[in-house]
Amino acid sequence: MRVNLLGVEIDALSMEDTVTRVAGLIRDNRPARVMTLNPEYLYQAQFDRGLLDQARRADLVTADGEGIVWACRVAGCPVPERVTGIDLMMRLLEKASLSGWSVYLFGAAPGVADAAAERILRDYPGLKIAGSRHGYFQADEESGIAREIQKTGPDLLFVALGAPKQEIWIDRYLEKTGAGVAIGVGGSFDVLAGRVRRAPRWVRRLRLEWLARLLRQPTRWRRQVVLPLFAWTVIKRYKLKRK
């Protein structure tokens, strides 16, 4: 089932069902886009038609971020759980190792994608890594990167350029890469490579991962400053209008 939140259709799926849907998209054998939607992106999309259309073109949109889960509840269309880029990636890697899918890692600082690939191979020795490449490039290199990926023929392409850069890149180049499914996964390679530690599980259970990330990386306040505006937009649209 899909639920509409501020103009974007979000798939109301558990993690388990999301993984099953991605497997289906790979089987369909046509390029598919998966978006892990966070509140910052959805708020920006209210003022940027391009971002809104990209989200609408995605084949699967997951509720990344506590803000999206909360907003769906306020809008009267709750989603079963939060499905973040990093959690989805971990589950898909496990599934890839069992199903024989090949994966490509594109993004993060030089050396990070390679280190993430090494860590993945330690955890899943048989997994097929089609290739890896860092995420710092000039605009005129973009087509070349897509071609480079295409030569390796990955089933799954993880793109870690941060939102909304990764969604813009996927939207523009997915067909050229020939990948089965592309997913934007933000800072996941940094975590996999051991460069950034995720908040402990108890902090995540308290739904405070955003706060832990802000304390570790205070420059994130710039992006998180839109969160109260996002909350106000949701309340205005779904609570005040109803009255």
Stretch that binds ligand UDP, among 6-14, 67-75, 103-111, 117-125 (CB under 6 A): 103-111
Report which of 57, 169, 195 is spatially closest to residue 116, judged by C-alpha positions.
Answer: 195
107 binds ligand UDP (CB under 6 A): yes
Asked if 68 touches ligand UDP (CB under 6 A), the answer is no
Among 109, 121, 145, 203, binds ligand UDP (CB under 6 A): 109
Element (H, E) at 182: strand 181-184
**From the list 135, 152, 155, 171, which residue makes contact with ligand UDP (rule: CB under 6 A)?**
135
Task: Identify which of 45, 35, 22, 11 has the alpha carbon closest to the alpha carbon of residue 169.
Answer: 35
Among 78, 80, 153, 162, binds ligand UDP (CB under 6 A): 162
What radius of gyration do the chain's Cα atoms show?
17
Is 226 a binder of ligand UDP (CB under 6 A)? no
- Helix (H) / strand (E) containing 33: strand 32-37
Q: Is residue 87 near ligand UDP by the rule CB under 6 A?
A: no
Among residues 65 and 238, whose Cβ is nearest to ligand UDP?
65
CB atoms within 10 A of CB 155: 23
Amino acid at 140: D
Dist CA 174 CA 143 (whole Å): 11
Residue 163 lies near ligand UDP (rule: CB under 6 A): yes
Quick one: 85 or 180, whose CB is closer to ligand UDP? Answer: 85
Q: Does 67 bind ligand UDP (CB under 6 A)?
A: no
Total Cβ atoms within 10 A of residue 82: 20
The rounded distance, in Å, linking the Cα atoms of 55 and 82 is 17
Beta bridge partners of 102: 128
- Confirm or reject binding of residue 180 to ligand UDP (CB under 6 A): no
Query: Least CB distance from residue 95 to ligand UDP, whole Å?
Result: 21
Residues in the chain: 243
Q: By CB under 6 A, tell whether 190 contacts ligand UDP.
A: yes
- Does residue 131 bind ligand UDP (CB under 6 A)? no
Number of alpha carbons in the 13 Å side-chain half-sphere of residue 44: 16
The nearest distance, CB 76 to ligand UDP, in angstroms, is 28
Minimal distance in Å, beta carbon 1 to ligand UDP?
26
d(CA 28, CA 31): 9
108 part of the interface to ligand UDP, by CB under 6 A: yes
Q: Which residues of the shown chain bind ligand UDP in the complex (CB under 6 A)?
A: 107-109, 135-136, 160-163, 165, 186-187, 189-190
